[in-house]
Amino acid sequence: MPALRLFGRKWLAASDDLVFPGLFEIALRVIWLILVVCVHIEYYADTWNCTKGGDYVRAYIIGMMVLLSLVILVLVALVNHSAKGSITNVDARKLVPSILLLKLFLIVPEVILNVFGTMWAFCKDLVVCPYEGHFSRTVIEALVIFNWALFGLAVFGLAMVFDPLGSKRYHEVQETPSAGESLRHRKGTSIWKRRFKWAFCWVRSDEHGHEAFQQVAALLSALFRSTDLVPSDILAGCILLRVKQKRETREMRRIYMLSADEPKYSTDINKVFSIAPKWMNLENARHFLRLSMAAYGWPLVMYLHCGTGFFRLLNNISCCSCFGRPEYTLVVDDNCCFCHMAGVKYISKINEQDILFASFRNHVFELPFCVIADHKTSNIVVAIRGSISLRDIFTDLTATSDKFEAEGLPPDTMAHKGMIAGANYIAKKLKEAGILEKSLASYPDYGLVLTGHSLGAGVACLLAFKVKPKYPDLKVYAFATPAGLLSREAARLTESFVFTVGLGDDFVMRLGVDSIENLRTGIIQTLHASRLPKYRILLNGFGYALFGVPPRDLESTWRDEMIPETGRAPLLLSRNIPTVAASTEAALLSRDLSVRRFSKTRLYPAGRILHIVSRKKSKTDRKTGNGASNYEMRWAAAEDFMELKVMPRMLLDHLPDNIYNVLDTILREQKDNVSEII
């Protein structure tokens, strides 16, 4: 950071990205230099007895030793200068481009020598000597192959760091700064869209594939178009954010110890749910989460039981239907063996006749779902599948806000565009099949429940608005609902009929366009505040993943002038940020949504949110093993999930099986505690 300028253009690499590649190449070059020296010692004197090609062999051996020595010296200088200074201290690495150019120009004599070596190793008539050791020929053959492979890797590396927007014409201010920015944005959108069409050609055939490509390309282009970040900067920034957030958490704990404003978590389930409607309880949540998981079908069974998943599905698979066996009449777009249906039956533990309808069609904006007659809770349940395919990812990433209309909503309500399309699709399928009317006519005393996990939870919340006018008593059980779902007033309306359960550091519950843009700004700020070189940050990140963040790193990572007396890194730097285009720096760091936001409306998660976290046990609890609860919970507000945190369990806390295990553990602990009291 900033991106490296070479040959008059910008590349997707920085001057401090060459430490680890340089060390790797130095190790290989030293090994080959030692082997070539061994060939010189063993074979060089015998070349004077060659009847043909002796001078040629001597020139190759001497030339290769000299070239390898020179390359090693250049690499040492390159690594030394690349390791200097912090990420933003470019002046400390001002010689890196010049050294890198020298390294690249050395490829020319290396290729020439390698051609000579190839001719010697593989052309038998070029060199005729009375003695030619097996060791020497083997080393030269291996060296030739290695050099060609290394040359291929160099070409591949250049292709990987090639920036299509690196040309000077995309960085020159043309008529106005906004015109140049607009040109880069349009070009960036076009490049991302072309990549998607090439990489995901099977998605391109979907009815809404083109629209999804356009929306996602525009989002990715907008997020980083005004920055000078390279991929390694983003990785280093995420590591630094983890350290910064842990530091801030420690400071907040100190503050809360002196005040009564700390959000109160409790292990007492009865106390927590005393202010909630009766239908909002953990028993129901666990039950409907299982049905939400069932909507994932056979892939989730294979994930949960990697070794035995196939055998668990075997009893419910109906492969005989391929040869004339009657098919299910209310199952749409399953394969001929009904593998998805087998997964639904296995996970839900529901009888086949109680699965009233199932659609497994999975295209962009079109999600699989099941309609189940749940006799245990006397409800007709619509379980909507979450993200599991690339098509679902494109639905997730079509994250711009769009107008959402339904009876009872404020006229200016906005929602996640991809999930609006998903809710409209399921509402249309339910209406075409008439399944809800038929099901509730068959079970007139049953209620209606919508449930889903992740993407399925967001779509279930929006679908509820669509069908609620006809079924006013419906309930929604949502798990790990995405943050960028609904505008604030509409999200408040859902608190009466949506029960949302979130676990720990789940990143999806904090994931939205707004939080991603905050993450971008946070990365830039932490990179400027860091005092460490990038290679140290990446090494530390590897250690953090294995052993956690040590307390000393909370203090030593930041520049002294960046740390105010409170001990926290500042949110904004007083000096100018050279990695952000001057014309867009104010817009990037502005809090005005209309200035710096891709999506003009901030979106929130829906429902009344129960947030469950792991309880940190005291030393006494750990020593005595007195059965203290492992988890605690509280009712959280939608505003609590606006910041995307970089935490070790941010992905694991999102997985449905982990949420289910936590709910099961809490209920089991409660049952054990009641038994002890009795």
Query: What stretches of 161-281 show up as alpha helix (H) in DSSP?
Result: 177-199, 201-204, 209-224, 231-257, 269-272
Say whether 506 is catalytic. Answer: yes
**What is d(CA 270, CA 674) in angstroms, rounded to the nearest whole number?**
12
- Please name the residues in contact with 533: beta carbons below 8 A apart, sequence gap of 6 or more: 16, 19, 83, 84, 85, 86, 87
- Cα angle 598, 602, 603 (rounded to 5 degrees) comes to 115
Structure tokens, 584: 């867009």
Amino acid 61 reads I
Are residues 395 and 208 in contact, defined by beta-carbon separation less than 8 angstroms?
Answer: no
Measured CA distances, 374 to 241, 282, 330, 627 (Å): 45, 17, 17, 34
The secondary element (H helix, E strand) that includes residue 477 is strand 475-479
Question: Could you count the other beta carbons within 10 Å of the beta carbon of residue 542?
Answer: 10
**Of 232, 454, 487, 530, catalytic:** 454
Reduced 3-state DSSP string for 286-337: HHHHHHHHHCCCHHHHHHHCCCCHHHHHHCCCCHHHHHCCCCCCCEECCCCC
**Of 506, 514, 515, 629, catalytic:** 506
Amino acid 583 reads S
SS3 label, residue 358: strand
- Please name the residues in contact with 348: beta carbons below 8 A apart, sequence gap of 6 or more: 290, 291, 294, 355, 372
Strands 9-14 and 369-374: unpaired
Say whether 98 is catalytic. Answer: no
Exposed e or buried b per residue across 645-661, where buried means at least 16 C-beta atoms within 10 angstroms of its C-beta: bbbeebeebbbbebbbe
Q: What is the CA radius of gyration of the chain?
A: 31
- Please name the residues in contact with 281: beta carbons below 8 A apart, sequence gap of 6 or more: 273
Structure tokens, 643: 């910041």
**What is d(CA 521, CA 224) in angstroms, rounded to the nearest whole number?**
10
Amino acid 63 reads G
Question: Could you count the other beta carbons within 10 Å of the beta carbon of residue 150?
Answer: 16
Structure tokens, 370: 């099941």
Q: Which residues are marked as active site? A: 454, 506
